Structure 1
């Protein structure tokens, strides 16, 4: 049974409905998606090894190789130069990471912009290149598609210059090999652009995301990329004994596995010769798939997506995780062993990265202007920070004063309420007393049946500083009236007389 037939009998990922009415179908086993792999001799264009080489795949940031080809081609035509200024628009500045984070209106040379997208893989810079060179992103995408057709890419569709997710944009391993050969052939003076180990912007040093550079002997370019739907991809070149090879690995679950597999494929390629029986890139059969599979569930698993391809590079390939995804029967015993995760592959490691050799990049037309712009921006940031702090202090002060004023007003309001309540009570007391007295009450002394009583002073008790109370006179009888005379009776005189009785 042929390799192609084995690869296509697996079934899995459901059909995805794409834009423009195109059905994006990935007919693969849910747990065994066939990842595109291709190894090609640069000089002859002969295929050394292939696996699903023409199947459509989401390119991610290897798209920036296409962006770079279009830009260099415009330079070659004299329409722009490497010193042409690229302006960051608000739309470019809003692109998600990886990015440089320049403010809208910032300018830099096309040369620096290309270095940044090759090393940092900055999406905002690639977007700005597209806008400036194509007039719009749509205009630049048209240039990308026209150029792709002209250089022999037949499986690719481009809609943006940075490779951020778009279900309408895909490529194939074969097309990326065609593009890599075209970059090497058509722009030999720009070869170093693809092998920069790091860039330095101001004080910041940013290493290349390509984990093979400085680790695999002879590795000398090109570009990596990652999105959840397409996994970790790389287009890499390496040279040994005067021979140059392109290796393309796509759809891997981590940069580590991607780099280890690419290194092993290079090892294999340098032991093989592309004979007359080896197919050329043009001879590879077209894929039967209508669109790329979405491997997000396999790579990102519905959890928080892995970080943007950060160039951590390969350190080791642990256990079965290093297996080629759904690897079909390889076209040689050596590759068959590697494809199905032999003990040799499980133990495979890459050496530590060689010391970085950063290349300076800047904004503005030259480093001096760039320093002036950075100094001005730093001053603006400090001023803005100081203004922000002052505004916060003023706001806090105003808030405190408002709180104190509110508290004062609340106290005054409570005092007014207390005063009002006291006034109301004072006004209510006399009215209550008048209401308590009978309207026509009679004095007790007015009664014909009660004696008039006048309350006297209370008796003082002895020992309280007052004289002893006078003892009450003993009761005595009135003296006998003298005979012959009537007893003289004195009439009481006023209240005093009545009291004495």
Structure 2
């Protein structure tokens, strides 16, 4: 290092060495993930790290499932009100899912909302069979659309992203798909940013933590399987400018949202150092990497994790330092030395903004009193008695010591009922949960152990 000292005394050469060191640090820090930020309207690439590395898509696959379905609706080959049926194949899919029994019917729009908000694997198959006749037939349609859009690194085998040989994509191809959704389906794009759904008594928030937390967030989808890590395709609009961020292989559901928010913030930041960055061209012109997808199974689902990983990970741990939250000196420099901003990790640690859940239900399209009745039927099926029975088994309570059950019907009518096609109202307050069952006498026994968690590792 002694020979570098005379060179470092020269101010201009000193800055060159600093920039080079920061670039190396940035490339090393990004090696475990694939990251990409593009302008939605032009496709201009603002940042790309491993953007053309092949990757397992997991449930971001459902972006294409919804795209193919909504294209069929737009072209008049089916309608949002059309009924689709839960088949035995659909009902047999691994979680996350709605868990509807075979033979249950529901509308296309309700199935879409369930699939995109809860990431329901059974609903993806319901839609695939309704549009393409079978999983294989629908996968062929998915691949045809991918080829037409220029997604040269993508191959689909199923409509939900559960592990399957040959199901591959890249950050580049997912950004191309996100741009196609914005361009081709503006009237249906709201499906991709529904904040939450209410099905009977259950309210499910969107797994995409950007929705309702990051200012201007307006899409798209999350995904997780052990091999892929935590994936997210997100978008946001600020001052008329819309950006798309892709994060693949993050360490948790919370961290992928933090990373996406960091990418979006740097993309939106106005700075005077843009001339230092080499032109990356457009997303379509990024050169694919000829490699095998990284397999993150050991890292994501190995024995070191405290609990089984899933796309429903509610990890809200806030990083206490810049490096822990993904903010490095290199990232600070590449953001243009802008003024400090609120850390995305802190921004996304809060709950989502208040919004009225979109009501989804089984059966044909309904409105008014008929819709209220349909919601009541779905609520009645979700009886608290079943959960009580499971609890008694978990704590090993003897049958003779069980207290008499007090029957109390839950309030069948939610505080507010919205049709599934209605756009979410960000200003509305969330619907309160129905009243709980009547209190039961507490037996004089020591406090029982908590119900053990499932060993299953569901896909997103």
- TM-score normalized by the length of structure 2: 0.69
Residues 378 and 169 of structure 1: is their aligned pair in 2 closer, same or farther, counting only changes over 3 Å?
same
CA distance in 1, matches of 2:58, 2:356: 26
Map 1:236-247; keep pairs closer than 5 Å: 236-247=234-245
Q: SS of 1:181's equivalent? A: helix
CA distance in 2, matches of 1:292, 1:204: 37
CA distance in 1, matches of 2:353, 2:92: 34
Tell me what 1:226 maps to: 224
Contact 1:37 1:50 in 2 (8 A): yes
Q: 1:198 aligns with which of 149, 172, 196?
A: 196
Residues 90 and 346 of structure 1: is their aligned pair in 2 closer, same or farther, counting only changes over 3 Å?
closer
CA distance in 1, matches of 2:42, 2:382: 55
Contact 1:315 1:352 in 2 (8 A): no
Tell me what 1:473 maps to: none
Contact 2:35 2:248 in 1 (8 A): yes
Residues 103 and 283 of structure 1: is their aligned pair in 2 closer, same or farther, counting only changes over 3 Å?
same
CA distance in 1, matches of 2:212, 2:378: 35
Q: 2:325 aligns with which of 309, 322, 327?
A: 322
Higher mean alpha-carbon deviation, 352-361 vs 118-127, is at 352-361
Deviation at 1:255, TM superposition (A): 1.2
CA distance in 2, matches of 1:117, 1:213: 16
Tell me what 1:170 maps to: 168
Contact 1:296 1:302 in 2 (8 A): no
Q: SS of 2:233's equivalent? A: strand
Tell me what 1:286 maps to: 288
Residues 370 and 124 of structure 1: is their aligned pair in 2 closer, same or farther, counting only changes over 3 Å?
farther
Contact 2:31 2:50 in 1 (8 A): no
Q: 1:310 aligns with which of 293, 309, 312?
A: 312
Tell me what 1:184 maps to: 182
Contact 2:269 2:335 in 1 (8 A): no
CA distance in 2, matches of 1:49, 1:204: 39
CA distance in 1, matches of 2:375, 2:236: 37
The higher relative CO (CA closer than 8 Å, separation ≥ 6) is in: 2
Deviation at 1:170, TM superposition (A): 1.0
Deviation at 1:344, TM superposition (A): 8.7
Q: SS of 2:188's equivalent? A: helix
Deviation at 1:176, TM superposition (A): 0.4
Residues 191 and 381 of structure 1: is their aligned pair in 2 closer, same or farther, counting only changes over 3 Å?
closer
Residues 89 and 2 of structure 1: is their aligned pair in 2 closer, same or farther, counting only changes over 3 Å?
farther
CA distance in 2, matches of 1:144, 1:239: 28
Structure 1 residue runs of 4+, over 4 Å off? Answer: 272-276, 318-321, 329-332, 335-338, 342-349, 368-382
CA distance in 2, matches of 1:230, 1:41: 25
Contact 2:36 2:49 in 1 (8 A): yes
CA distance in 2, matches of 1:34, 1:254: 13
Structure ID, larger Rg: 1
Q: SS of 1:211's equivalent? A: coil
Deviation at 1:151, TM superposition (A): 1.3
Contact 1:209 1:313 in 2 (8 A): no
Tell me what 2:101 maps to: 103
- TM-score normalized by the length of structure 1: 0.64
Map 1:49-68; keep pairs closer than 5 Å: 49-68=47-66
CA distance in 1, matches of 2:380, 2:265: 52
Contact 1:257 1:317 in 2 (8 A): no
Structure 1 residues not aligned, in runs of 5+: 11-30, 389-395, 397-501
Residues 151 and 314 of structure 1: is their aligned pair in 2 closer, same or farther, counting only changes over 3 Å?
farther
Q: 2:126 aligns with which of 125, 128, 132?
A: 128
CA distance in 2, matches of 1:379, 1:199: 17
Tell me what 1:357 maps to: 356
Higher mean alpha-carbon deviation, 145-154 vs 344-353, is at 344-353
Higher share of residues assigned helix: 1
Tell me what 2:442 maps to: none
Map 1:47-446; keep pairs closer than 5 Å: 47-272=45-270, 277-289=279-291, 291-302=292-303, 306-310=308-312, 312=314, 316-319=318-321, 321-323=324-326, 333-334=333-334, 348-350=346-348, 351-367=350-366
Cα RMSD for the two superposed structures: 3.6
Contact 2:81 2:365 in 1 (8 A): no
Q: SS of 1:116's equivalent? A: helix
Structure 2 residues not aligned, in runs of 5+: 1-18, 390-398, 400-460
Deviation at 1:353, TM superposition (A): 2.1
Deviation at 1:125, TM superposition (A): 0.6
Residues 233 and 170 of structure 1: is their aligned pair in 2 closer, same or farther, counting only changes over 3 Å?
same
CA distance in 2, matches of 1:79, 1:311: 37
Higher mean alpha-carbon deviation, 158-167 vs 347-356, is at 347-356
Deviations 1:278-337 (A, max 9, x none): 410121111121x2111111112245663422263756235555349xx9x979832599
Contact 2:31 2:49 in 1 (8 A): no
Deviation at 1:77, TM superposition (A): 2.0
Aligned residues: 357
